[in-house]
Chain A
Amino acid sequence: MADRKPIVYRQRFEKEAMVHIDALMRTARRMTKSDTDAEDLVQETMLKAYRFFDKFEEGTNCKAWLFKIMTNIFINNYRSKSKAPQSLTFDDIDDSFLFGQLAKNKEMSDPEKEFFSKIFDKDVRKAIDELPEDFRMVVILSFIEGFAYQEIADITDLQIGTVKSRLHRGRKLLQKALFDYARRSGFIKEPLN
């Protein structure tokens, strides 16, 4: 093949890019909510990354570069086609909703401790999965993958202000959802008003 890549190209790719497959897969799973779609998405991402690996600047953040490629493919090919208007009433949720609910629970000696120790992993994942897509994306990139605001802005092609406000709303929705799970599971009691 005429445009065959030199061996060092492949070696560098293995060393710098292949190590991020776990993180990509984890995020792809949360983005697509499907194991099959997630595998396809990661595969497509890695092949594209390989093809354009000469565009990756050595010494910069390879994980962020891969996430940007994946996010682009996801937005173009995988995002739910019918973007129904999101009629969520997240703006009704008070900023300090969870804090307030836990603090005013006088029946329990340490409701905060109960909440954080007993909330199930599966409920946390379910709550993330159920976030509206725009919020879900920034929440995953920040909370789970630990990217900085600026890196998230670069990955998603959003303004940093938009990243912050989506993260803010996403956090509120997540807190509300997890509090509801905790109450339903019965380890947090409904506070008396």
Chain B
Amino acid sequence: MNCRDALRLLFDVVDNEASESEIKKVREHIQSCEKCAARYEMEQKFKKCIEKKGKFSPECEKLRDKITQQLDDIDPGSGGADLFPSPLN
């Protein structure tokens, strides 16, 4: 594999879409090519950075309650406490 082929597969590999054999060939190439190795490393870091910093945990407790309430309204008796009727009753 030459640099051109290695770069053609760059994003498939980074995005986890490349086949086993493609990954193997790329790995062989970057072991002997510093420039391609550096590029692969940077693109992988970039992707991880976006995932880590772009991913936030939204506050959705209220929304969850609201949706649960709406499901209860659509289907009364399908959720909530009615699922577990008290054995004492």
A interface list, Cβ under 8 A from B: 1, 4-7, 9-11, 13-14, 18, 21-22, 25-26, 29, 38-39, 42-43, 46-47, 50, 96, 98-99, 102-103, 112, 116, 119-121, 124-125, 128, 139-140, 142-144, 146, 148-149, 164, 167-168, 171, 174-175
**Contact present for B42 and A21 (CB under 8 Å):** no
**Contact present for B74 and A18 (CB under 8 Å):** no
Main secondary structure of the interface of B (DSSP, over half): helix
**Contact present for A98 and B74 (CB under 8 Å):** no
**Contact present for B66 and A43 (CB under 8 Å):** yes
**Contact present for B75 and A26 (CB under 8 Å):** no
CB distance from A149 to the nearest CB of B (A): 6
User: Among the listed A1, A50, A168, which residue makes an inter-chain contact with B71, where contact means beta carbons less than 8 Å apart?
Assistant: A50
**Contact present for B63 and A25 (CB under 8 Å):** yes
**Contact present for A124 and B63 (CB under 8 Å):** no
**Contact present for A21 and B60 (CB under 8 Å):** yes
- 12 new A-B contacts, CB < 8 A, other than A18-B64, A124-B53, A149-B15, are A18-B68, A21-B67, A26-B58, A29-B58, A42-B67, A99-B42, A116-B46, A119-B49, A125-B53, A140-B54, A143-B50, A149-B17
Q: Contacts A112-B45, A125-B54, A149-B15 given; indicate if A5 touches B70 (C-beta within 8 A).
A: no
> CB-CB < 8 A to B55: which residues of A?
26, 144
CB distance from B51 to the nearest CB of A (A): 6
CB distance from A121 to the nearest CB of B (A): 4
**Contact present for B54 and A10 (CB under 8 Å):** no
CB distance from B11 to the nearest CB of A (A): 6
Main secondary structure of the interface of A (DSSP, over half): helix
What would be 29 A-B contacts, judged by CB atoms less than 8 Å apart? Answer: A1-B75, A4-B75, A7-B83, A13-B71, A18-B67, A21-B67, A25-B58, A39-B63, A42-B60, A43-B66, A43-B67, A43-B70, A47-B70, A47-B71, A50-B71, A98-B42, A103-B38, A119-B53, A120-B53, A124-B50, A125-B56, A140-B54, A143-B51, A144-B51, A146-B51, A148-B17, A167-B15, A171-B46, A175-B46
B27 is an interface residue with CB less than 8 A from chain A: no
> CB-CB < 8 A to A10: which residues of B?
71, 75, 78-79
The chain A residue with its CB closest to the CB of B42 is: A99
> CB-CB < 8 A to B56: which residues of A?
26, 121, 125
> CB-CB < 8 A to A99: which residues of B?
38-39, 42-43
CB distance from A122 to the nearest CB of B (A): 9
Alpha-carbon distance A144/B16, docked complex (angstroms):
14
The chain A residue with its CB closest to the CB of B82 is: A7
B47 is an interface residue with CB less than 8 A from chain A: yes
